[in-house]
Structure 1
């Protein structure tokens, strides 16, 4: 990764994260196939919903015969963390058009958000729409393709977890966190580790009382507050 902020650079920078999209996308397609969803339904879901965890939940709720209102509400809660991520990135695109901002926000994912945070360390804290459009569009296309392939191959694989596909996204985020910590020289590594440990412990206890996605949102907010409190001030 370098300081280049062109569309082509965005395509190049996002490539390492695509393995996570492929792994989870294949698993989602396989689950959808075993749940008797058609290839067209899987493709449309990936293009319209475009949210891995939410798509798994939607499939299970459809099978359970849940009402549409419950499915919509669950999807919103699962992806509510994207509000925080979009707000964090919005400050870098204040001078850009509304259309650019809508495009960025619509296709932003956990992975491209983390990628953007890493990119800021290389560009003197600058981002450009073309770079993020390149990263977002390639990730979007690969996700849709992976879910469709998974659905087509679903009858060949009865248990996707035996291939470790369920760990693909976890491994990817560990790598992104590591890169973020070693490249961000604005904060001491000990301080970053302290915040990571705080968020992990907070998440552990919150999951005892809240659903996973609500616990994640609360842990993120508390982690931001803790980071501000322990950061040295000029």
Structure 2
């Protein structure tokens, strides 16, 4: 869908689109800071980890592996496979920005997360306009909130012995459920049969693959299977 320069969403529009993810980031980011402080990391080390790694699940894994004094090489390999799904997400996002410069695409891909990807796909499913400034607003606010929330967790973490008692461990799950429901609403309007078929195929393949391989590869494999089935059904 061609969008005129006048109608292109702005950076501020992207910031506003990020608001639903902020509460999830605050909760899980704060919990991440608490965990990091608990294994002996300084606030500055927590800050650097969030600034450079910027991956919630990977950062929790890093903290767990540091706690058991795992080799650095093992940590690097583990984090690589955990974040391999971002390759698939970037591939699916690339067509929307194929007319943009390489530098702009690198900027978008570098800060793309599960949450910003969820917001982006929700907008595209609803045929709402997107742009590079909009995507930058979405990504940069999420990035800033994540870094700040983990630092706050590191600073105040010593006062909270059990983050799950405040429901912080469920914040990210609740946010994903909200994004999922928005996407499901748009998909069901397009075709109930296709949506259900893809969901069932993903769930079944994920269950089977989890038996034979690691969770990271199972997620990637199930995603590829679901995407392939969706493409084939579009061609029918």
Q: Normalising by the residue count of structure 1, what TM-score does the alignment of the two structures yield?
A: 0.92
Moved more, 157-166 or 38-47: 157-166
Moved more, 9-18 or 183-192: 183-192
Q: Does 1:15 align with 2:19?
A: yes
Cα offsets for 1:118-166 (capped at 9, x unmatched): 1113446x53111000000000000001101111121111122222222
CA distance, structure 1, for counterparts of residue 210 and residue 50 of structure 2: 28
* Residue in 1 that maps onto 2:63: 59
Aligned position for 1:153: 156
Moved more, 60-69 or 104-113: 60-69
Match of 1:108 among 112, 115, 132: 112
How far apart in 2 are the matches of 1:64 and 1:49?
20
**Does 1:205 find its partner at 2:208?**
yes
Question: Cα offset for 1:183?
Answer: 2.5
User: Is the 2:111–2:139 Cα contact (8 Å) retained in structure 1?
Assistant: yes
**Counterpart residue number, 1:72:** 76
In structure 2, runs of 5+ residues without a counterpart are 1-6
- Decide which moves more: 18-27 or 128-137: 18-27
Secondary structure of the equivalent of 2:212? coil
User: Is contact 1:118-1:179 (8 Å) kept?
Assistant: yes
Q: Which runs of 5+ in 1 are unaligned?
A: none
Task: Choose from 217, 232, 235 the match for 1:233.
Answer: 235
TM-score of the two chains, using structure 2 as the length reference: 0.91
2:185 match: 182
Distance 1:232 1:211 in 2: 30
Counterparts in 2 of 1:84 and 1:174: CA distance versus 1, 3 Å: same
Question: Which of residues 126, 132, 156 is equivalent to 1:129?
Answer: 132
Q: CA deviation at 1:220?
A: 0.8
Distance 1:102 1:206, change over 3 A: same
Give the Cα–Cα distance (whole angstroms) in 1 for the partners of residues 188 and 203 of structure 2: 22
- Aligned twin of 1:138: 141
Q: 1:171 to 1:225 in 2, by over 3 A?
A: same
Separation of aligned partners in 2, 1:185 and 1:172: 20
Q: Is the 8 A contact 2:29 2:149 kept in 1?
A: yes
TM-aligned CA deviation for residue 34 of structure 1: 0.8
Within the candidate set 166, 189, 193, 2:196 is matched to: 193
**How many aligned positions are there?**
230
Cα distance in 1 for partners of 2:192, 2:22 equals: 27
